[in-house]
Amino acid sequence: MTAIDTAPFSREEIAAESIKLEEYEEIVKRLGRHPNKAELGMFGVMWSEHCCYKNSRPLLKNFPTCGDRVLVGPGENAGVIDLGEGLHLAFKIESHNHPSAIEPFQGAATGVGGILRDIFTMGARPIAILNSLRFGKLDNPRTRRILTGVVEGISHYGNSVGVPTVGGEIYFDVAYSGNPLVNAMALGLMETADIVKAGASGVGNPVLYVGSTTGRDGMGGASFASAELSEDSADDRPAVQVGDPFLEKSLIEACLEAFKTGAVVAAQDMGAAGLTCSTSEMAAKGGVGISLNLDDIPIRETEMTSYEYLLSESQERMLFVAEKGREQELIEIFHKWELHAVVAGEVIANPIIRIVHHGDVAAEIPAKALAENTPVYKREIVSQAPEYAQKAWQWTSDSLPPCHEEGIGNQTWKDLLLQLLGTPSLASKAWIYRQYDHQVQNNTVLLPGKGDATVIRARRQTESVQTYRGVAATTDCNGRYVYLDPYQGAMLAVAEAARNLSCVGAQPAAITNNLNFGSPEKPVGYWQLAKACQGIAEACTQLDTPVTGGNVSLNNETLDHQGILQPIYPTPVIGMVGLVEDVRNICGQGWHSQGDLVYLLGTWEATLGGSEYLATVQQTVAGKPPEIDFSLEQQVQRACRNGIKQGLVNSAHDCADGGIAVALAECCLSGNFGVEVTLSPSNSQRWDECLFGEGTSRILVSVSPDNQQQWEAFLQQQLGNAWQQIGIVTGKVLNINSTLVVSLDEMRETTESAIATR
């Protein structure tokens, strides 16, 4: 007889907590008895993928996590790196995909709120937000509604809380129709001397509950976030939390003030799985226990059960362990900011979580049983690439209609360039970032749309110390590449992130990643996840950008019209940060002055495999994404960075989606100058391959003619022959080989209206 047979719950009740039957057996083994309802709920959320990485952990362990600059690696609320001059940067990315699919506004808003808490819990003041977003095609009204809601949610929360939303990326693809991705990344500068950690310590120390009240909102959000979406998901709307950015702003100020007193021993924000997660993680990390009295918790609703208290995901709440005797000092700070602060428990020697409610013990679980030694599912990785990938790899450009110097069929290259510039994924994102306050805090050096990455001055707001040091940040992932070849695609995402940082003159330093995938229980899904993790590990090792943490979001799947679960494109979003030694010495992507010389660093090699051109113009998703040569990649990036540092480079832009033609157009639009270039495709290269083919290790730069000699000598020494002068910055027209001629006005109208008018 198994434990299930004697369980006080039906199998349906157990399944409703997202607990598998074998996991239930394990719970009974660990407790030596059956759990009660509240305890079952606690295991349900703590053993969800969102909280314990039960499917992905074996794959994540190969990430490089150490480096000279890394102060805190994976495992804490956020990673922390050393920027020099005593400046420490906390950063992390997190997803809010499923809530945003159901309730776009609050889903996205609380995604921002949650990632900010991860940052200031460490003692860092948030200084920037980036968002990596994926939606279905914009002509679908539902997509339009989700996009509008998500953008308004981010705008509502980020603007009010006073943290600039400065960058990110957005793609629109039918693969994300039912399951949009909303990943929010935040950066913060440490304001406390010591990094505030989560591990509780000091038996007898009081446990403080601070911030907002607890209600029934967001019940079981972590479990919900870890399940696939269905028609009925809208019924789960109570699982979506409601955010209050005003409270969060006060909470930031109060927490940073509290940390500076030195009276806070440990802190943990209440995000996924609320009280359950924060108490058990603090206890487990500290090797102690915590006893918590629910009757002391400030509430916004009456008659809540212990289960509801423990699983509530009400926002803007934190748990502190305070130094005994100094709790009043902390409470007063929170009261000044008109926030709740109460002693709700204490640290105990016995390493258990004991929850008291109405004078009775409502739950009692060993802390480690919940938060550590959690279940791990090590699955078999199929040895051969799945059929879909093998089939896609057989594609070659020979299957495309023939092209001539003027165009393809009766479409001219100009028509095709304008078509690409009008594709929402490539078009101007001004309609979106104009709704985000991207200048609050007075540190935004490079505005959205002006560079390949954002650049923020690393000035501590609370000190009058002049600094020119800065940080650059970007998020990147081409999901189509990862779908076609997860290993290669993930490497390309890391390489592109590093290249984007190099294009603004920053030294790539470290990454955080958000692994958005389908179901790991399907062989194809697990293969994608495993291969992508290998790719990230390889690229991060090669480029010396260790992983300091991240987030895993699995089961991103929706039922299609035939009732078949369709996964999204596997999308491992890379959030990379880089060091800027002097923010006065950086580079934008737009042409700077008429007469400047334009160079292509890197190679002409480019492929239409997996390209935006192939997908948009030829309606084909196939081929192999570009190959990467890490040694050339690093040479090209180093040449660009050093050129910027020496003041030789006036603009730099990565050639990514849409190939060299789109990159040239972007340089024109951003700088408000034209360009005249001559491209020389090799004999075997088709014209569309040359114009719209995509490749790695390629950067377009412009240089003043006064510096030509010095610059070319420098390139020769840094890159050998892997560079070429291709043209000159001109007035208001983009002219490629006199066959693709288009005015800036025409391009601007197309690209700026693409998102706003759809």
Q: Which residues sit at the interface with other proteins, rule CB under 8 A?
A: 155, 159-162, 244-247, 249-250, 337-338, 433-445, 457, 461-462, 464, 466, 468, 583-584
372 backbone dihedrals φ, ψ, rounded to 5°: -125, 170
Question: Which tokens is 703 given?
Answer: 């240089």
Q: How far is the CB of 163 from other proteins (least distance, A)?
A: 8
Q: Which is nearer to other proteins, 165 or 519 (CB)?
A: 165
Q: Is 357 a catalytic residue?
A: no
Q: How far apart are CA 284 and CA 744, in angstroms?
A: 59
Q: How far apart are CA 361 and CA 248, in angstroms?
A: 32
Return left, alpha or beta for 109; rule: phi > 0 is left, psi -120 to 50 is alpha, else beta.
alpha
Structure-token match 């304008």, residue found: 418
Spot the catalytic one: 96, 156, 340, 438.
96
Q: How far apart are CA 282 and CA 265, in angstroms?
A: 11
Q: How far is the CB of 304 from other proteins (least distance, A)?
A: 25
Instruction: Using CB atoms within 10 Å of the CB of residue 692, give its burial: 0 to 12 exposed, 13 to 18 middle, 19+ buried.
Output: buried
Alpha helices in 61-186 (DSSP H): 97-102, 104-120, 141-161
Under 8 Å between Cβ of 286 and 200? yes
Q: How far is the CB of 186 from other proteins (least distance, A)?
A: 15
Q: How far is the CB of 641 from other proteins (least distance, A)?
A: 20
b/e burial code for range 278-295 (CB count within 10 A of at least 16 → b)? bbbbbbbbbebbbbbbbe
Q: Which is nearer to other proteins, 249 or 285 (CB)?
A: 249
Q: Is 96 a catalytic residue?
A: yes
Q: How far is the CB of 109 from other proteins (least distance, A)?
A: 13
Q: How far apart are CA 508 and CA 580, in angstroms?
A: 9
SS (H, E, C) 40-65: HHHHHHHCCHHHHCCCCHHHHCCCCC
Q: How far is the CB of 80 from other proteins (least distance, A)?
A: 22
Q: Which is nearer to other proteins, 152 or 415 (CB)?
A: 152
Q: How far is the CB of 312 from other proteins (least distance, A)?
A: 21
**Angle separating helix axes 659-671 and 413-421, nearest 10 degrees:** 70
Looking at the chain, the number of H-run helices and the number of E-run strands are 27, 30
Q: Which is nearer to other proteins, 152 or 712 (CB)?
A: 152
For the sheet containing 740-743, what is the strand order?
649-654, 698-703, 597-602, 723-730, 674-677, 733-736, 740-743
Q: How far is the CB of 152 from other proteins (least distance, A)?
A: 8
Backbone Cα Rg of the chain = 26
- Nearest in space to 435 (alpha carbons), one of 72, 153, 730: 153
Spot the catalytic one: 50, 156, 340, 357.
50
Q: Which is nearer to other proteins, 223 or 441 (CB)?
A: 441
Q: How far apart are CA 693 and CA 223, in angstroms?
A: 42
Q: Which is nearer to other proteins, 176 or 337 (CB)?
A: 337
Under 8 Å between Cβ of 133 and 180? yes
Q: Which is nearer to other proteins, 411 or 439 (CB)?
A: 439
Q: Which is nearer to other proteins, 328 or 461 (CB)?
A: 461
Active site residues: 50, 96
